[in-house]
Structure 1
Amino acid sequence: SQGSMSRIISVYSQALQRLGITLNYRLVDFALYQQRMDTFDFDMTTIRYGGSTSPGNELFDRFGSRAASVQGSDNVWGLRDPAVDALIERVVAATSMQALQTACRALDRVLVCGWYSVPQWYSDTFRVAITAHKFSWPKTLPLYYQPEGWAVQCWWADAKPASGAPT
């Protein structure tokens, strides 16, 4: 539904063409896109899911078997795998960081080996447009954070904008 994704999809289409696969795609408006996503009415889609620094119950909606047939769930793959369900249970039941990391790594391996998704692109930067002279934020960044949430929770509007700055 985003015209800005055409650049990425075009490159992906060219890569598939080299493998002898023809990709036909078309842009649709957001309402139709959302309806198709909610009802799992698509062959392929471009979607971005953010991670979590503390994974847990949201994994049931994204990868759990029960969510596979629930319209509007995040389980767009229709994934129904008892091994995945068991690993999600281990993630949620973890009582230590070591147990959480072990369960998450095992879940990651099972999902990656299942080839449910094909990565199209990656960026290790977070881009946000702000009026920098009107806002301030802590000088020291936290070790782990989600940029969107951190910005909303920790930035503040300056009572007096920087001198000479446009208002």
Structure 2
Amino acid sequence: MNKTYQVAANKEIVQLMNLGHVKQRELESKLGADLMRAVHLRRLHISSSANVRLEDLPFRQFDYSIVSGACCENVIGYVPLPTGIAGPLIVNGRRYFIPLATTEGALVASTNRGCRAVTESGGAIVFVYKDAMTRAPVVQLESAAKVLELKRWLEDATNFEELKRAFDATSQ
């Protein structure tokens, strides 16, 4: 943190940014805990140097400590989305409500119907075997027990190769 930047006028810092002496990504570290000011300065810089209008992009009334250093860099604001709630959904005996931020019509209503169907049928029993991301063919089975049976069958290299050949024959 640099006290010089903390006491400098916004106009001075924006001038330094325009000259390339201060980079957008450095604002939070130079200003310390004043994350809102960093967002404001970045907006001023962008507006003055790129002739971009940001008035319609909200930036006040947001806790930037949630995203700073975690999930978004060079923050200039946030986008408010309508948020609906679906549920309850019973999973492993616990009741959940699911917030959905969307502008897609009927998404919350249809998700809610699915939650009701699952809940009224006794809820869902789920488990995570492995937390990973893959790009692979999808196999639909009728139960978790059948999934486990297929997994064990695929652990045999001969079976795996047989299924791989079948999938590869239909991919491009």
Larger gyration radius, structure 1 or structure 2: 2
TM bracket, shorter-chain basis: under 0.3
Tell me the TM-score normalized by structure 2.
0.23
Compare the two structures and name the one with the higher strand fraction.
2
TM-score (norm 1): 0.24
